[in-house]
């Protein structure tokens, strides 16, 4: 019995270390979603409408009474979604109580997108916006519990929405990291259609905006509400489990010299060379279709060639205390 316990504990520890490695390193960008193993238990798919009968929330469920996922992981989802839908009282009300144990995935949209009928990974333009010629969608897992969907148009990548999967029993929960990943995925992206960031609500009211920082090699949140008036970009350290405010020359210059210009309409649509996610995507030839990637049954099919990095961290999970941006 003691041998089996040690074997199981060592296996969980390796799983936790491997997942943290890929969270820090960044998962691959694909042209079709990665399908988590837990979705094989799906028996029901529910869409919920926001305003104007537009579906902006979807739940993927197993048989009622199923007990497949970790309650702590469900609590992270509940808290994030309650905040995300605070302007939609009917939807936010669903997340006031504990989520059911048969919940397999929660899908939610970003502004000007809606959820399709096919699956939890099906996202479409909404509010009268039409899909541009040669535009396409891409996908990236940020962790085993978080996957984002991006709409690519005229060489720019916009977040369409995301899927949040609770951690199955026996799998790493990484509560703080998954909480922070969802926050940064939704707050550090450019909104569709492209607009003057100085007129967005986050810029005006919360004094921050999202941008891709080439120096950092990923999307960051630029906060300009400091007492000294100097903007700093905001990142999350997944190893130390803390927010970091970093003085960055590139982000400073961008803040002070930024000038809004209407985007050109005749740019060919390609995957962005520096997408607004946590790892660079490969660019396609201008005017060509992105090479399709077959659906993967598990992340291991995608990350086999990734270079492993070392993360000196004995305990990657603890209590939920990361604050969401108001």
Indicate the domain borders of the chain.
15-195+264-292
Gap between the Cα atoms of 67 and 71, Å rounded: 9
Question: Which stretches of the chain score pLDDT less than 50?
Answer: 4-5, 7-8, 266-326
Smallest CA-to-CA distance from 180 within 79, 251, 309, 273 is with 79
Number of helices (H) and strands (E) in the chain: give both, helices first: 7, 13
Gap between the Cα atoms of 232 and 209, Å rounded: 11
The position carrying tokens 């197993």 is 62
Q: What is the pLDDT of residue 185?
A: 78
Report yes or no: 105 and 52 within 8 Å, Cβ to Cβ: no
Report yes or no: 185 and 161 within 8 Å, Cβ to Cβ: no
Q: What is the pLDDT of residue 319?
A: 32
Starting at the edge strand that comes first in sequence, how are the strands of the sheet with 146-153 ordered? Answer: 29-30, 136-143, 146-153, 156-164, 103-109, 55-61, 44-49
Q: Per DSSP, which regions of 238-314 are E strands?
A: 242-246
Half-sphere exposure of 240 (CA within 13 A, CB side): 6
Report yes or no: 138 and 123 within 8 Å, Cβ to Cβ: no
Q: What is the pLDDT of residue 275?
A: 35
């Amino acid at each position: 019995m003691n041998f089996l316990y040690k074997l199981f504990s060592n296996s969980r520890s390796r799983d936790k270390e491997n997942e943290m490695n890929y969270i820090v390193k960044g998962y691959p960008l694909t042209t079709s979603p990665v399908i988590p193993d837990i979705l094989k238990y799906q028996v029901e798919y529910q869409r919920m409408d926001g305003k104007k009968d537009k579906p902006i929330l979807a739940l993927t469920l197993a048989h009622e009474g199923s007990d497949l996922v970790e309650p702590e992981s469900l609590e992270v989802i509940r808290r994030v979604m309650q905040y995300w839908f605070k302007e939609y009282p009917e939807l936010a009300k669903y997340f006031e109580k504990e989520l059911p144990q048969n919940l397999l995935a929660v899908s939610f949209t970003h502004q000007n997108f809606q959820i399709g009928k096919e699956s939890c990974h099906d996202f479409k333009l909404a509010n009268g916006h039409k899909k541009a010629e040669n535009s396409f969608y891409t996908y990236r897992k940020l962790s085993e519990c978080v996957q984002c969907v991006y709409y690519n148009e005229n060489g720019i990548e916009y977040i369409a929405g995301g899927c949040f999967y609770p951690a199955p029993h026996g799998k790493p929960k990484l509560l703080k990291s998954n909480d922070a990943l969802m926050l940064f995925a939704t707050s550090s992206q450019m909104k569709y259609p492209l607009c003057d960031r100085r007129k967005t609500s986050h810029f005006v009211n919360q004094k921050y905006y999202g941008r891709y920082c080439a120096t950092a090699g990923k999307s960051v949140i630029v906060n300009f509400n400091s007492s000294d008036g100097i903007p700093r970009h905001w990142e999350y350290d997944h190893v130390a489990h803390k927010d970091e405010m970093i003085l960055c020359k590139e982000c400073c210059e961008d803040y002070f010299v930024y000038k809004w210009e209407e985007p050109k309409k005749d740019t060919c649509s390609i995957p962005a060379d520096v997408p607004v996610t946590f790892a660079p995507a490969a660019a396609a030839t201008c005017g060509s279709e992105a090479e399709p990637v077959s659906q993967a049954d598990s992340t291991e099919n995608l990350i086999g060639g990734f270079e492993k990095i070392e993360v000196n961290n004995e305990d990657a999970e603890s209590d939920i205390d990361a604050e969401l941006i108001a």
